[in-house]
Structure 1
């Protein structure tokens, strides 16, 4: 991660390099994050390329929608199940910071994926109440 592009770099316990925002979340919330808590478009493209090479798409043309946006949503759902506070089980709350500059083409798959995600899961508050029996 280039400090010229991202400012000060924060190094996680597992060696993952993230921007200082994620480092601040870790320190102030007293949690332990991993490199998987930092989603980048490069990581998403790599995961999709690996699926292509395994034949997961059965030779179909890979497109931003739905393949890249689905990969982003799958990443989010996978990471929410990883404990960060030393307790067992999924997190009670998941904060997603959509970084970058609005209007940058690089952010568009994330914006689309989060829109699809919120449409797919519905009312987040309702989802939390159902999962915790409130």
Structure 2
């Protein structure tokens, strides 16, 4: 993470460099944060490209909906979240920016389903 762009960086016990907000959540909840407790848009798209190159989409046109939103939902519902009573899901960015829309759509789908 670039501290000039994101502000102060928080390093988890397992060495992940994350947004400082994760450190605030760790202190507030008293639950240790780890590498897989946070995901970035870059990591989402990296997984999407890897899956596409491996042929996991069987040649169909890869789209934001459903492919990107499915990766986001899979992360939220992954084995890393089993056994928890709640999940804090912070969608960063600026109100009105379109970059967060896939995350909002994924959350909408989770609530609807």
Same structural fold, with TM-score higher than 0.5 when normalized by the shorter chain: yes
Q: Which residue of structure 2 lines up, in the alignment, with residue 109 of structure 1?
A: 102
Q: 1:28: Cα distance to partner?
A: 2.7
User: Which secondary structure state, in structure 2, belongs to the residue aligned with residue 15 of structure 1?
Assistant: coil
* TM-score (structure 1 length as normaliser): 0.78
* TM-score (structure 2 length as normaliser): 0.91
Q: Which residue of structure 1 lines up, in the alignment, with residue 44 of structure 2?
A: 44
Structure with bigger gyration radius: 1
CA RMSD of aligned residues (A): 1.2
Q: 1:93: Cα distance to partner?
A: 1.4
Q: 1:75: Cα distance to partner?
A: 0.6
Output the CA distance in 2 between the equivalents of 1:40 and 1:103: 19
Structure 1 stretches of 4+ with a deviation exceeding 2 A read none
What's the CA shift string for 1:41-92, capped at 9, x where partnerless? 11111111121122111011100000001110001001312xxxxxxxx111
Structure 1 unaligned residues grouped into runs of 5+: 82-89, 121-134
For the pair 1:96 / 2:89, whether they are aligned, the reply is yes
Aligned residues: 112
Output the CA distance in 2 between the equivalents of 1:15 and 1:3: 16
For the pair 1:60 / 2:60, whether they are aligned, the reply is yes
Structure 2 unaligned residues grouped into runs of 5+: none
Q: Which residue of structure 1 lines up, in the alignment, with residue 81 of structure 2?
A: 80
